[in-house]
Structure 1
Amino acid sequence: MNDVINATTENFAAEVLEAEGSVIVDFWAPWCGPCRQLSPILDQIAAEHPNVKVVKVNVDDEFDLATEYRVTSIPAIKLFRDGEVKKEVVGARPKGALEKDFEGLLD
């Protein structure tokens, strides 16, 4: 199983923008109920897709990153590939819905 990485302004470029393959970035906050519901779903997706990296950005601690990526509502999930956002999803969704949203990008 892939370990979830906590991203900061200092390591975001290395962990996300320069990463090979797909990177799911979960913009979240500890006080957000839907964010807490989504976390185990992202863990499952990471476990089932070994080439996918999951990175979490706490919007309370990393306000500049949240602003840069225009996060106005959480949870906000952005799938990056080759340093670019390829797909964005806002709000908690069931695992099947997320996999359908990210179809073709999880390999």
Structure 2
Amino acid sequence: MNTLQYRFDGPEDAPVLILGPSLGTTWHMWDLTTQEPIGAPMTGRTDSVQTLGTATVAGRMIAVTGSNDGTTRLWDLAGCEEIGEPFTGHHLQMVTEAAGIPVAVTTSDGGVGVWDLTASTR
């Protein structure tokens, strides 16, 4: 596994582990209490997932993935599906909060970008 993220507040407040592959484009969420996968595997990447972060936006848990294909994508973890269009030309470095707002920090040839995850804008 190349990327992973641990959360205490998964579905039904279960502790979850989100795993991204070291090779391939499919990644999974696991309930650590039952040791069973949660939902369907998440697909849609065109290259391997290199960076993974999570945040809570408007009460829902999301994941943010960065890939070698130069895209940063948002995922609804409850529905195991992609949210909106990817940020292109950017490489995800981390997910954090700035002034209480969840943000994705990306890099590109043009410098550093900070994306407001509540509005999907830079």
Question: Given the two structures, how large is their TM-score scaled by the length of structure 1?
Answer: 0.31
- Decide which structure has greater helix share: 1
Larger radius of gyration between Structure 1 and Structure 2: 2
Q: Which has the higher contact order (CA 8 A, sep 6+)?
A: 1
**Under a length normalisation based on structure 2, what TM-score does the superposition of the two structures give?**
0.29
